[in-house]
């Protein structure tokens, strides 16, 4: 395992229309470190938010190519984790830690 603390694993929650709809099924979406593994993500969420995690699914979102006038740039890749919580558990992502 890598030497990441819990605050280095979880970068920020993703607040979109899709993630809000996923919260109805006890799922929360986070941007996580690129080197974080599923067991590290599970341990970080359980330690920081005091909840029980049943599953962690990860995906790497490739950066888009964007243009601004004559300049072409690429957004960086991001890793997301879809964390499924146990029944009856919830995380309020609008408040801080």
DSSP code for 20: H
48: phi then psi, degrees, rounded to nearest 5 = -80, -40
Residue 3's pLDDT is 54
Three-state secondary-structure class, residue 88? coil
Report whether 30 contacts 12 (CB < 8 A): yes
In the structure encoding, which two tokens stand for residue 87, read together? 């029944």
Residue 5's pLDDT is 87
In the structure encoding, which two tokens stand for residue 79, read together? 């890793």
Q: Are strands 10-13 and 71-74 parallel, antiparallel or unpaired?
A: unpaired
- Quote the CATH superfamily of domain 6-85: RRM (RNA recognition motif) domain (3.30.70.330)
Residue 35's pLDDT is 94
Per-residue pLDDT of the chain (97 residues; tens, 9 = 90+): 455 688 899 999 999 999 999 999 999 999 999 999 999 999 999 999 999 999 999 999 999 999 999 899 999 999 999 999 999 998 887 776 6
d(CA 70, CA 77): 23
Residue 79's pLDDT is 97
């Amino acid at each position: 395992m890598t030497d990441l603390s819990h605050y280095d694993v979880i970068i920020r929650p993703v607040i979109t229309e899709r993630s809000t709809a996923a919260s109805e099924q006890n799922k929360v979406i986070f941007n996580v470190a690129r080197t974080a593994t599923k067991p590290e993500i599970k341990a970080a969420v359980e330690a920081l938010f005091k909840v029980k995690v049943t599953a962690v699914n990860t995906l790497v979102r490739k950066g888009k190519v964007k243009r601004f006038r004559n300049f072409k740039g690429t957004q960086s890749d991001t890793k997301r984790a879809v964390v499924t919580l146990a029944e009856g558990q919830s995380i309020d992502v609008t408040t801080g830690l």
